[in-house]
């Protein structure tokens, strides 16, 4: 179910992050003391309910967001109203830097697939760091570079006729060690959520996961999927 919320409503629910939550923000550790102080004074976290929109097409970008816990979906609709999912966003992932850099309105929707904890840095502080911090700039450049590779891979996935390969490659994208550094080897995801991301039914996803398990690329565990061979998962279905 899609649930819309105004930016003001989300901001009203936001709070100051706690130390364990700050420890999960990779780029924060690289900042100089004065840069870190500015970022800490600005960062907020908010709990987004399952089905709720965090970002909506056409709304101006006011924050740069990252996932502390949970799972988000980046999507849009075609001209005839057919939904297109671009990617999932797993724990540790920060997104929307291109939109924030250009101070544009969003060209995609960001929806929580389950209850998720999301951190936000204002556009003003984002640009303040961009103007002053070399470590922050390096992080953003790497983000943009890895994200470009991810979207090129997503185009390839869309053209795959083999559902097993689609599930394998989509899963591999969620285990990206740079874009989603807090996932580790176990991703908390249900078959239904994975189905939303790859555009397949829960039953078809279940069949694909079973075959991937037999190939020893993954192991399905209670509440999630553990990757056993990431390279095999990335190359699944290649001739």
Query: Is 21 in the same domain as 138?
Result: yes
**239 in a domain, yes or no?**
no
Residue 206, domain extent: 161-234
Q: Looking at the structure, do residues 132 and 193 belong to the same domain, yes or no?
A: no
Q: For position 188, which CATH number holds?
A: 1.10.10.10
Cα 232 to Cα 221: distance, rounded to the nearest angstrom? 19
Looking at the structure, do residues 38 and 103 belong to the same domain, yes or no?
yes
Distance CA 41, CA 191 (A): 39
Question: Can you name the residues that pair with 226 across neighbouring β-strands?
Answer: 186, 219
The answer on 174 and 56 residing in a single domain is no
Q: Examine the domain organization and report whether 105 and 188 are in the same domain.
A: no
Bridge partners (DSSP) of residue 220 are 225
pLDDT at 79 over 70: no
Per residue in 107-141, pLDDT (tens digit) is: 999 999 999 999 999 999 999 999 999 999 999 99
1 part of a folded domain:
no
Closest CA to 46 of 121, 122, 117: 117
Burial of 33 (0-12, 13-18, 19+ CB in 10 A): exposed
Burial 52-62 (b: 16+ CB within 10 A, else e): bbbbbeeeebe
pLDDT at residue 6 is higher than 60:
no
DSSP code per residue over the chain: --B---HHHHHHH-BPPPHHHHTT-GGGGGS-HHHHHHHHHH-EEEEE-TTBEEE-TTSBP-EEEEEEES-EEEEEE-TTS-EEEEEEE-TT-EE-HHHHHHTPBPSSEEEESS-EEEEEEEHHHHHHHHHH-HHHHHHHHHHHHHHHHHHHHHHHHHT---HHHHHHHHHHHHT-TTTSTT-TTEE---HHHHHHHHT--HHHHHHHHHHHHHTTSEEEETTEEEES-HHHHHTTT--
Residue 199: pLDDT above 90?
A: no
Residue 92 lies in a domain: yes
Residue 64: give its domain's CATH number.
Answer: 2.60.120.10
Residue 13 lies in a domain: yes
Residue 87's pLDDT is 87
- Residue finishing a domain among 151, 186, 215: 151
| Structure-token pair, residue 67 | 């996932």
pTM: 0.88
pLDDT of residue 4: 57
Instruction: Clarify whether residues 122 and 66 are in a common domain.
Output: yes
By residue count, the chain amounts to 239
The tally of domains found in the chain comes to: 2
Q: If you search the block for the tokens 């640009």, which residue do you land on?
A: 127
Q: Do residues 142 and 30 make contact, with C-beta atoms less than 8 angstroms apart?
A: no
Task: Write out pLDDT tens, residues 139-196.
Answer: 999 999 998 888 777 676 666 668 898 899 889 999 999 999 999 899 999 999 999 9
Q: Residue 156 falls within a domain, yes or no?
A: no
Q: Which of 128, 151, 174 is the last residue of a domain?
A: 151
Residues 120, 64 share a domain: yes
182 and 114 in a common domain:
no
If asked whether residues 22 and 74 sit together in one domain, one would say yes
Q: Phi first, then psi: what are they for 45, rounded to 5°?
A: -125, 150
User: Cβ(180)–Cβ(92) under 8 Å?
Assistant: yes
């Amino acid at each position: 179910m899609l649930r819309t919320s105004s930016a003001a409503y989300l901001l009203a629910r936001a709070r100051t992050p706690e130390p364990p939550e700050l420890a999960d923000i990779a780029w924060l550790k690289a900042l100089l003391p004065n840069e870190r102080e500015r970022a800490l004074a600005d960062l907020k976290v908010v709990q987004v309910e399952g089905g709720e929109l965090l970002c909506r097409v056409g709304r101006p970008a006011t924050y740069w967001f990252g996932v502390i816990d949970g799972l988000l979906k980046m999507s849009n609709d075609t001209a005839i109203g057919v939904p297109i999912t671009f990617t999932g966003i797993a724990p540790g992932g920060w997104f929307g830097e291109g939109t924030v850099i250009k101070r544009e309105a969003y060209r995609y929707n960001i929806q929580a697939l389950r209850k998720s904890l999301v951190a936000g840095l204002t556009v003003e502080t984002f640009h303040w760091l961009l103007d002053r911090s070399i470590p922050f700039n390096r992080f953003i450049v790497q983000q943009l570079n890895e994200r470009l590779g991810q979207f090129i891979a997503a185009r390839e996935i869309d053209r795959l006729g083999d559902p097993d390969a689609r599930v394998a490659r989509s899963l591999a994208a969620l285990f990206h060690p740079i874009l989603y550094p807090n996932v580790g080897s176990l991703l908390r995801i249900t078959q239904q959520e994975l189905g939303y991301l790859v555009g397949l039914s829960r039953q078809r996803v279940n069949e694909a996961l079973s075959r991937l398990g037999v190939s020893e690329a993954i192991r399905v565990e209670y509440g999630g999927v553990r990757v056993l061979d990431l390279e095999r998962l990335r190359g699944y279905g290649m001739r």
